[in-house]
Amino acid sequence: MAKNKHGGKKPEQVDDSFGSVLQVGPGFRLADLDPAATPGFSGKKKDAEKAMDAARDEIDDLQERLYAGGRDGDGPAILLVVQGMDTSGKGGVMRHVVGTVDPQGVRLHAFKAPSVEERRHPFLWRIRRELPPPGYIGVFDRSHYEDVLVVRVHDLVPPATWRRRYDQINSFERSANDRGIHLIKVMLHISSGEQKARLQERLDRPDKYWKFNPGDIDERERWDDYQQAYQAVFDKTSTEQNPWYAVPADHKWYARLAVQQLLLEELRGLDLHWPGPDFDVAEQQRRLAAT
């Protein structure tokens, strides 16, 4: 644990580390997770906002150390992978969690349906190119997991192909670890009823029309298939080294706090120090004084 001036204090309503309560372990059933729950946090919306504000300085400090450590081309990086059904709040996490981190140290990439060129390559090709360099916090809004989610639900490749991908993903992620990349894999879990309400809002408010796509309802009709596909993702790719975190997301304020705290806990665990000078400080002070 990094010992910095912030001392790693938990907000008072936080009962335990978010990592330990949200981690997907053996036997985890997505169907049993209440999307309206707030595991590990006994506060309300206002408390969550205060807790998020309170964490900002520490994240700022740790992120800058991370970035500084990457300057010479090694040192660790973080990759935050965010998955979830339409309207589950991925955009809000980008805006309200990722958006509070210094943009100079962030590499955010939103994966859309693959282009013609991307489809000519193995599915991990376009993912590998977006991995964060040392010192950066990479953020994936959707990811390689779409290749075993939408692809599986819609039979976009033969079953034998997507079945192989779970192992390929595990070994890809281990190779990312070997390069110093620490993954935080987050699934925002909403209820079907909450999704309906959020889609309804996009159809009711002219300033939200642009976020709506008739295809969202097609996907909604496959709700159960997607839940099954997510369960398979958890069963096969929540490993000890690269676990998933299942975040109840019917309360946007809880999901944002949880993702922020997962990021903070990961940063703390890196034990980040300021790099020493690679020059003679006294000599440079003399040179500067002479100008």
Residues near a copy of itself (CB under 8 A) are 68, 71, 91, 94-95, 98-104, 106, 108, 110, 141, 196, 199-200, 203, 206-207, 209-214, 217, 220-221, 274-277, 279, 281, 284-285, 287-288, 291
Closer to a copy of itself by Cβ: residue 34 or 102: 102
Q: How far is the CB of 289 from a copy of itself (least distance, A)?
A: 8
Q: How far is the CB of 38 from a copy of itself (least distance, A)?
A: 25
Closer to a copy of itself by Cβ: residue 32 or 207: 207
Q: How far is the CB of 94 from a copy of itself (least distance, A)?
A: 5
Closer to a copy of itself by Cβ: residue 14 or 249: 249
- d(CA 45, CA 51) in angstroms, rounded, equals 10
**Which of 135, 79, 136, 133 lies closest to 111, judged by CA?**
79
Q: How far is the CB of 270 from a copy of itself (least distance, A)?
A: 16
* DSSP-based three-state secondary structure for 129: coil
- d(CA 132, CA 76) in angstroms, rounded, equals 10
Q: How far is the CB of 134 from a copy of itself (least distance, A)?
A: 13
Phi/psi for 256 (5° steps) reads: -65, -45
Asked if 74 and 177 count as a contact pair (C-beta separation under 8 A), the reply is no
Closer to a copy of itself by Cβ: residue 10 or 126: 126
Asked if 166 and 231 count as a contact pair (C-beta separation under 8 A), the reply is no
Asked if 109 and 138 count as a contact pair (C-beta separation under 8 A), the reply is yes
**Which of 61, 15, 60 lies closest to 41, judged by CA?**
15
Closer to a copy of itself by Cβ: residue 1 or 217: 217
Q: Kindly report the number of other CB atoms within 10 A of residue 165's CB atom.
A: 22
Closer to a copy of itself by Cβ: residue 28 or 223: 223
Q: How far is the CB of 278 from a copy of itself (least distance, A)?
A: 8
- d(CA 277, CA 272) in angstroms, rounded, equals 16
